[in-house]
Amino acid sequence: MASETPQTDLSSDKPLAERPKEGEAGPSKNALKKAQKEAEKAAKKAAAKAKEAAQKAQQEAAAGEDVSVGFYGELPLIGGPDFKPTGDNRVNLGRAAKEASEGKLSGPVSFRAQVINARQQGAKLAFLNFRQGTDSVQAVVAEGEKISRKMVKFAAAVPVESVVLVKGLLVKTQEEVKSASIKDVEVHVVELHIISRADSMLPLQIEDAERPLPAEGKEEEPQAAEGERPFVGLNTRLNNRVLDLRARQNRAIFRIKHGVTQLFQEFLNARGFIMTQTPKLMGAASEGGANVFRVDYFEKKAFLAQSPQLPKQMLIAAGFERVYEIGPVFRAENSNTARHLTEFSGLDLEMAFEEHYHEVLDVIEEMMLFIFDGLKTRYKEETEIVRQSYKVEEFKLPEKGKVPRITFKEGISMLREAGEEIGDFDDLSTPQEKHLGRLVLEKYDSDFYILDQFPLAIRPFYTMPSSQNQTSSSLPENQTPQSSATFPTPQYSNSYDLFMRGQEICSGAQRIHSPSLLRAQMLAKDPPVNPDGEGVRDYVQGFGYGCPPHAGAGLGLERVVMLWLGLPNVRLASLFPRDPGRVVP
Amino acid sequence: MASETPQTDLSSDKPLAERPKEGEAGPSKNALKKAQKEAEKAAKKAAAKAKEAAQKAQQEAAAGEDVSVGFYGELPLIGGPDFKPTGDNRVNLGRAAKEASEGKLSGPVSFRAQVINARQQGAKLAFLNFRQGTDSVQAVVAEGEKISRKMVKFAAAVPVESVVLVKGLLVKTQEEVKSASIKDVEVHVVELHIISRADSMLPLQIEDAERPLPAEGKEEEPQAAEGERPFVGLNTRLNNRVLDLRARQNRAIFRIKHGVTQLFQEFLNARGFIMTQTPKLMGAASEGGANVFRVDYFEKKAFLAQSPQLPKQMLIAAGFERVYEIGPVFRAENSNTARHLTEFSGLDLEMAFEEHYHEVLDVIEEMMLFIFDGLKTRYKEETEIVRQSYKVEEFKLPEKGKVPRITFKEGISMLREAGEEIGDFDDLSTPQEKHLGRLVLEKYDSDFYILDQFPLAIRPFYTMPSSQNQTSSSLPENQTPQSSATFPTPQYSNSYDLFMRGQEICSGAQRIHSPSLLRAQMLAKDPPVNPDGEGVRDYVQGFGYGCPPHAGAGLGLERVVMLWLGLPNVRLASLFPRDPGRVVP
């Protein structure tokens, strides 16, 4: 099979890599053949050398020269023909250290770990630090009955970041260990084998990747102070993401991100939602032609979904009642800011309701509080690890029923009182958004709030006009709102955004479920959207088959993680971020 | 905001729909403006007409002509300015019917439902059927003190598939109701309002969508027997998927699909895996140039990921230990079969192990049994609903520890004994796969089995060569296997496929974690893969930073659903399937 997921008929297809590449630039076949021969030669040479070394070690052992033979060295390739499984139990370092600290552990344990650093002290001692997950521990290799000087030397020379198999005693220390996360236990090594040797020159030191990036808007690469290591910027980190992701705070960030997805699902599953997968390949640019990626689709063109908006509404029209999706969202936007990605993870939900879209907004609000609460209680340790790097104030949480829910109109008033000049129906700029966030925090003591009833003109065509017929404050007081007997054209809409630390993380609305109103609204947009266009025709028609009133929302997963932790850049919350200038690694 | 998920700076961006479209064909601006005016005119006319009708009804009521005024009719648009919420409780039909059946319910209840059919019997009676989720119920509107003949007539004329608000008494029936899923209770309607009126002409009848499609390989559109409705084929159903998805078995299929995703996560979460999101936009066609979709990426080209294979392995190299992903997988394969899609959902996992790749295979096997067991116990009802349409034999499950795990070599022997002509290292054709499935079912009484130790040549470059040094049965018996001191080139590999009902649903392997062996294997492929090429460079380098041995797998979610239920086409397990000829709806 070509790649993991089964799709290809085994009968008809060779692995992808074996197929001829079409029009791809690359080294010539001859060059590769040559390289192939050289690699084979090198491999044979390496194998011969390894065999020789092993024989030499055996000879030395036979001559009684090294008491430690068999206790250290390089393991044969695991999975290769020379490796012999031992069936030994391997422990989790954190748990084993805790047992050792409580006096519940005796005898040596085995564990796999990565080498953080290794150094020799005199001829008889080597000190190492090992990493396993977010735990780290100090280790000593000391010359003794079964530990030769050669073994000490070997230990001190293990390249940083190599994966090793350690057998050792976990011993309580007299003094607190400063250089490791495990403070009261160290390892007295009895065996040490290299499972996977790291290159001796690494393009990025984990130590450097563990230093925080400057806050948004600050200099990217601050000058290093005297004696300090030079600061390593975001680009270098992202270019070497496999190493960068080993930084302790990164391990924690992605456990928290996992947590958000699980809490999201847990909450919605309990309320009868189902997880769905809607297509990312679309026959037409359904939400407008700009900012959409075009795909060569056999003889035609296809487009990458800018959101699951249309299909998720179609599922409501199909009678699914409550759906959610976790999936990639693609935006061909040439924005190079700290909060934009060209591909990010959308947490989308859509729900039929009975009488008022606030039934849905209440669910969303409760869901966010559930997620925050879950992060606070279940991911406390991870959050603390990140806060050790990014010293951001704790996220101020409102209680249930006390989430500030203010109308857009109210928000504008608050901004004006604070000196901002802004029109009634103007969209908020990013600085204005942040300003409003500060005002809400001051007034309500909450880093999370909801802005409801946005102006209709600044929302997409599928947004339900406001039921509240709010009049603008600039409307003369004696002027009555438009009669509701004819189709009203209210200035506001049944739509909302959610904010964390003054930045938008979620946008949603009641959708128009009346096909005639939807058509009218599409045509009323400037420029108008053609309701019979290929990308929207099936969507619009679906509402003509009977559709319940519904509302929903889309959250940006990376933004939730970024703002919960107060990270300075959304890229830090994406494993392999994509932006206009970056599609690798 | 343009679409749901927040990404765009509110400050700088208008909704996508408002932006000028680039190079999109469509009606001219003038034509749209004209249509817009006409729509406005039509909307005003409709509103005026509705107002008139309402006034007329009121006048009639005032004249005492209709005792039911206010008890039936069309509700104002929910969310619109004329709708007044009542705060009435709405019930779940299935639960309420059960309570009524047990005599625990008194008084009328309200519920929202969809009309399956409506007909009048004489002047005084109307019969309707309502649908809510997978439940359906029979209802009667009978002339009486508060129910006028006009209301009976209105009820009988509600277009099929309209969404209605019903108030009624749930009454135990004397005889079993044949036409509904709720057999012992019917609704005596007291109020009936249309929430969303369906078009009177539908392109597809739900009744037709509920009839099963023929088994694979059978005629697509069988001749209808005398008096039968004409058969509606797959294309018509998929073209009208919003209606098609209302079919009862479809509702059940996608609850089961949800179930698979949840069971997958539940099992892996409990074992310390975390959910990840890896990019779908790739800088190069990492697994070969064929069968990959090309994307216009700003001034450059990007490619859609054919699997998360490379990034998930990079996460193992980054020290993540155990990861999984649920995400779209793209294959630009021009295959028009019952089991191929161009976009499907991959359930991927990757895991570091200690000594043997069977540690991982054991986890995968246990996971599949957990999923099967969960489907059997938690999704029994849904499975039965689908089986009412697709009368497939129940999936035969092995017990834990008894899953047939046979080597590829053994599989070839079994096929040969059964008369198939096949070479030692030939890949299995689809018919051979199915044949082997039948042989395994006969021998082991299991619809699920694992084929292990595939020939190396038919697996991708990242597959670990076999540790077992199996010799081919065609090798002369006195010929010894190659020495393992030099790099061996075994015929087999540490790789496996999983099968359900004789079809592959999962492919996986131990991966090469040694950068030198990986390079050698890449170069040894024909044609060779350049280890320094843009798409794989970071991936290959990652293993030089120290990487634990690891293995993983990728499952095709739609295939698991299809084969669990025995559906005749994988498209039935995709909400909006994509194939070479279909990118809408």
pLDDT tens for B195-244 read 999 999 999 999 999 999 988 666 555 666 667 788 999 999 999 999 99
Closest residue by Cα to residue B368 from B569, B572, B564, B570: B564
Closest residue by Cα to residue A276 from A370, A367, A372, A351: A351
**Is residue B333 among the annotated active site residues?**
yes
Element (H, E) at B448: strand B448-452
Are A46 and A53 in contact, with CB atoms under 8 Å apart?
no
For range B529-533, the mean pLDDT:
92
Q: What are phi and psi of A467, to 5 degrees?
A: -85, -10
Considering only CB atoms, A242 lies closest to which of B357, B530, B542, namely B542
- Residue whose pair of structure tokens reads 């739900």 in the numeric block: B206
Residue B527 to residue A18, Cβ atoms within 8 A: yes
C-alpha triplet A152, A153, A156: angle, nearest 5°: 85
Strand B281-282 and strand B185-196: pairing? unpaired
CA atoms within 13 A of residue A16's CA, in its CB half-sphere: 23
CA distance B369 to B376: 10
Considering only CB atoms, A318 lies closest to which of B246, B484, B510, namely B246
The Cα of B174 is separated from the nearest Cα of chain A by a number of Å equal to: 31
- Chain pair A-B, CB pairs under 8 angstroms: 627
Residues of B in contact with A293 (CB under 8 A): 281, 295-297, 302
With helix as H, strand as E and coil as C, how does A447-459 read?
Answer: CEEEEECCEHHHC
Percent of chain A residues past pLDDT 70, beyond the cut: 83
Among B60-64, B431-435, B517-521, the minimum mean pLDDT is found in: B60-64
Closest residue by Cα to residue B371 from B272, B475, B498, B284: B498
CA distance B248 to B242: 13
| Residue B410 pLDDT class (50, 70, 90 cuts) | very high
Closest residue by Cα to residue B91 from B61, B133, B127, B62: B133
For range A369-377, the mean pLDDT:
97
* CB within 8 Å of B554: residues ≥ 6 apart: A3, A4, A5, A6, B307, B308, B309, B329, B346, B347, B348, B349, B506, B507, B508
Strand B300-304 and strand B294-297: pairing? antiparallel
B78: tokens are 């929910």
For range B563-573, the mean pLDDT:
97
Are B246 and B198 in contact, with CB atoms under 8 Å apart?
no
Q: What's the N-to-C CA distance of chain A in angstroms?
A: 24
Residues of A in contact with B493 (CB under 8 A): none
Are B131 and B179 in contact, with CB atoms under 8 Å apart?
no
Report helix, strand or coil for B500.
Answer: strand
Task: Give Cα A517 to chain centroid, integer Å.
Answer: 39
Query: What ipTM describes this predicted complex?
Result: 0.90
For range A481-497, the mean pLDDT:
66
Residue A7 to residue B345, Cβ atoms within 8 A: no
Mean pLDDT, rounded, of chain B: 88
Q: Which of A12, A14, A16, A197 to probe the B interface (max B CBs under 10 A)? A: A16
Residues A323-359 have pLDDT tens digits of 999 999 999 999 999 999 999 999 999 999 999 999 9
Element (H, E) at A138: strand A135-142
- Residue whose pair of structure tokens reads 């009968």 in the numeric block: A11
Asked if the bond preceding B398 is cis, omega within 30° of 0, the reply is no
Residue A527 to residue B330, Cβ atoms within 8 A: no
Neighbours of A272 (CB within 10 A): 11
| Residue A310 pLDDT class (50, 70, 90 cuts) | very high
- Supply the DSSP symbol for B167: E
pLDDT of B275 reads 98
- Residue whose pair of structure tokens reads 């992701």 in the numeric block: A245
Closest residue by Cα to residue B408 from B357, B466, B336, B484: B466
Residues A17-32 have pLDDT tens digits of 333 333 444 456 676 6
Residue A133 to residue B543, Cβ atoms within 8 A: no
- Supply the DSSP symbol for A421: -
Task: Give Cα B403 to chain centroid, integer Å.
Answer: 26
Residues of B in contact with A22 (CB under 8 A): 289-290
CA distance B106 to A437: 50
Residues paired with B172 in a beta bridge: B185
Residue A274 to residue B290, Cβ atoms within 8 A: no
pLDDT of A471 reads 42
CA distance A331 to A345: 11
pLDDT of A289 reads 64
**Is residue B229 among the annotated active site residues?**
no
- Residue whose pair of structure tokens reads 């069971």 in the numeric block: B263
pLDDT of B297 reads 96
**Chain B residue with minimum CA distance to A246:** B318
Is it the case that residue A237 has pLDDT exceeding 70?
yes
Residues B123-160 have pLDDT tens digits of 999 999 999 999 999 999 999 999 999 999 999 999 99
pLDDT of A366 reads 97
Q: Which of A83, A242, A260, A563 to probe the B interface (max B CBs under 10 A)? A: A242
Residues B60-72 have pLDDT tens digits of 655 668 999 999 9
Element (H, E) at A37: helix A29-62
For range B437-466, the mean pLDDT:
97
Considering only CB atoms, B7 lies closest to which of A326, A344, A580, namely A344
pLDDT of A284 reads 83
| Residue A218 pLDDT class (50, 70, 90 cuts) | low
Element (H, E) at B127: strand B125-132
Is it the case that residue A162 has pLDDT exceeding 90?
yes
Residues of B in contact with A33 (CB under 8 A): 528
CA distance A351 to A168: 56
Considering only CB atoms, A254 lies closest to which of B47, B274, B548, namely B274
Report helix, strand or coil for A523.
Answer: helix
Report helix, strand or coil for B561.
Answer: helix
- Could you tell me if residue A559 is left (phi over 0), alpha (psi between -120 and 50 degrees) or otherwise beta? alpha
Residue B516 to residue A348, Cβ atoms within 8 A: no
pLDDT of A27 reads 55
B156: tokens are 């009988």
* CB within 8 Å of B538: residues ≥ 6 apart: A241, A242, A584, A585, B314
pLDDT of B490 reads 79
pLDDT of A13 reads 35
Considering only CB atoms, B486 lies closest to which of A47, A554, A583, namely A47
* CB within 8 Å of A517: residues ≥ 6 apart: A487, B43, B77
Is it the case that residue A62 has pLDDT exceeding 70?
no
* CB within 8 Å of A564: residues ≥ 6 apart: A256, A260, A372, A375, A383, A395, A500
Among A572-576, B285-289, B424-428, B490-494, the minimum mean pLDDT is found in: B285-289
Considering only CB atoms, A583 lies closest to which of B162, B282, B314, namely B282
For range B420-439, the mean pLDDT:
96
The Cα of B481 is separated from the nearest Cα of chain A by a number of Å equal to: 12
Residue B427 to residue A11, Cβ atoms within 8 A: yes
Residue B556 to residue A243, Cβ atoms within 8 A: no
Residues A533-559 have pLDDT tens digits of 988 999 999 999 999 999 999 999 999
The Cα of A146 is separated from the nearest Cα of chain B by a number of Å equal to: 25
Residues of B in contact with A247 (CB under 8 A): none
- Supply the DSSP symbol for B465: B
Residue B24 to residue A467, Cβ atoms within 8 A: no
Residues of A in contact with B315 (CB under 8 A): 245, 575
Residue B516 to residue A42, Cβ atoms within 8 A: yes
Considering only CB atoms, A114 lies closest to which of B131, B344, B546, namely B546
C-alpha triplet B98, B102, B105: angle, nearest 5°: 80
Mean pLDDT, rounded, of chain A: 88
More confident residue, A211 or B49: A211
Residue A545 to residue B85, Cβ atoms within 8 A: no
Is it the case that residue A203 has pLDDT exceeding 90?
yes
Residue A331 to residue B8, Cβ atoms within 8 A: yes
**Chain A residue with minimum CA distance to B582:** A283
Give the global pTM.
0.90
